[in-house]
């Protein structure tokens, strides 16, 4: 009888400790509404060049071999995402050029988009540079078909869940988002999940974006969008159709460039 009573008190004690812990967690739980995220974009150039070299392309194979000997495997660039509950601003950080090989003019490295996302209207204004032309593209946020998974990982100190997605009908996307950061945004134009996207991978394109630092409550400076001189102002549809028309005879290189400049 005494043993049973002791067991009862033991379980009650465990239950009280659990409830206290839960209460303490609830009191200290913090959901982020505004801040600034630093991202690192990485392009696996070894994989990209290898995919472009045909089996009978002797010259291409020579370029690929030379690149592997003299250049880093990953081309890395940095960007920032400032956000609030109403909007976000995504921009690249200008850095000194890293001495990349002159014969590799890869579009995934060249892309330097500035993207302004309104969460109120689910619309975006993107400033995009395609080789020598500048575009201001106004559109609704991209449609991404997301499917949640049970996989989790930590990114920049935040607990994130994995979601798999499909964009532009055929591009496979892996994203990791945190429900602790409330706005439904992310790097570039990636969004649409129940929290902020802190990591994105395009496995078949060999490109990733991952957060390296999150600063809380950094206000967004409400300044006018700086538009490039002579920039063409187009809708999302006009932009995509124009690129397809310009690159239709570029072969595999054109297909890859199209994905880079649209995403």
Q: What is the pLDDT of residues 144-180, one digit of tens each?
A: 999 999 999 999 999 999 999 999 888 999 999 999 9
> How far is 141 from 236, CA to CA, in rounded Å?
10
Structural domain boundaries in the chain: 35-44+76-262
Q: What is residue 13's three-state secondary structure?
A: helix
Statement: the pTM of the whole predicted model exceeds 0.75: yes
Q: What secondary structure letter does DSSP report for 6?
A: H
- Asked whether 128 and 149 are in contact (CB, 8 A), the reply is no
pLDDT on residue 10:
43
pLDDT on residue 221:
63
Fold of 35-44+76-262: outer membrane lipoprotein receptor (LolB), chain A (2.50.20)
Taking Cα atoms as reference points, which of 262, 217, 171, 256 lies closest to residue 34? Answer: 217
**pLDDT tens readout for residues 42-75:** 999 999 888 888 778 888 888 889 889 999 999 9
pLDDT on residue 40:
97
> How far is 181 from 33, CA to CA, in rounded Å?
6
pLDDT on residue 3:
44
Helices 251-262 and 236-247: angle between axes, nearest 10 degrees: 160
pLDDT on residue 64:
87
pLDDT on residue 223:
64
Q: What is residue 106's three-state secondary structure?
A: coil
Q: What is the mean pLDDT of each run of 10 residues along the chain (263 residues)?
A: 46 43 42 94 92 81 89 94 94 67 72 93 94 93 94 97 94 97 95 97 96 87 74 93 91 86 90
pLDDT on residue 102:
44
Neighbouring residues of 72: CB distance < 8 A, sequence distance ≥ 6: 45, 98
pLDDT on residue 14:
44
pLDDT on residue 218:
75
Neighbouring residues of 13: CB distance < 8 A, sequence distance ≥ 6: none
Please give the C-alpha separations between residue 46 and each of 49, 172, 203, in angstroms, as whole numbers. 6, 20, 14
- Asked whether 226 and 134 are in contact (CB, 8 A), the reply is no
- Asked whether 101 and 78 are in contact (CB, 8 A), the reply is no
> How far is 96 from 78, CA to CA, in rounded Å?
11
What number of CA atoms fall less than 13 Å from residue 238's CA on the CB side?
9
Helices 251-262 and 45-52: angle between axes, nearest 10 degrees: 140
């Amino acid at each position: 009888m005494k043993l049973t009573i002791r067991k009862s008190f033991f379980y009650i004690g465990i239950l009280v400790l659990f409830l206290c812990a839960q209460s303490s967690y609830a009191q200290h739980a913090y959901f982020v509404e505004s801040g600034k995220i630093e991202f690192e974009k990485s392009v696996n150039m070894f994989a990209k060049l290898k995919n472009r070299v045909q089996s009978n392309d002797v010259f291409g194979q020579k370029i690929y071999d030379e690149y592997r000997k003299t250049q880093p495997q990953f081309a890395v660039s940095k960007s920032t995402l400032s956000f609030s509950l109403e909007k976000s601003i995504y921009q690249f950080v200008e850095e000194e050029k890293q001495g990349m090989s002159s014969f590799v003019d890869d579009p995934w490295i060249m892309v330097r988009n500035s993207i302004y996302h309104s969460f109120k209207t689910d619309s975006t204004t993107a400033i995009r540079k395609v080789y020598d032309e500048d575009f201001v593209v106004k559109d609704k946020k991209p449609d991404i078909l997301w499917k949640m998974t049970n996989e989790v990982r930590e990114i920049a100190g935040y607990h994130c869940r994995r979601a798999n997605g499909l964009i532009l009908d055929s591009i496979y996307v892996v994203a990791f988002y945190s429900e602790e950061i409330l706005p439904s945004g992310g790097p570039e134009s990636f969004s649409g999940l129940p929290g902020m996207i802190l990591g994105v991978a395009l496995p078949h394109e060999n490109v990733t974006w991952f957060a390296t630092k999150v600063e809380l409550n950094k206000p967004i400076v409400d300044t006018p969008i700086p538009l490039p001189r002579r920039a063409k102002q187009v809708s999302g549809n006009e932009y995509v159709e124009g690129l397809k028309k310009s690159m239709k005879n570029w072969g595999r290189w054109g297909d890859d460039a199209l994905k880079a400049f649209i995403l």
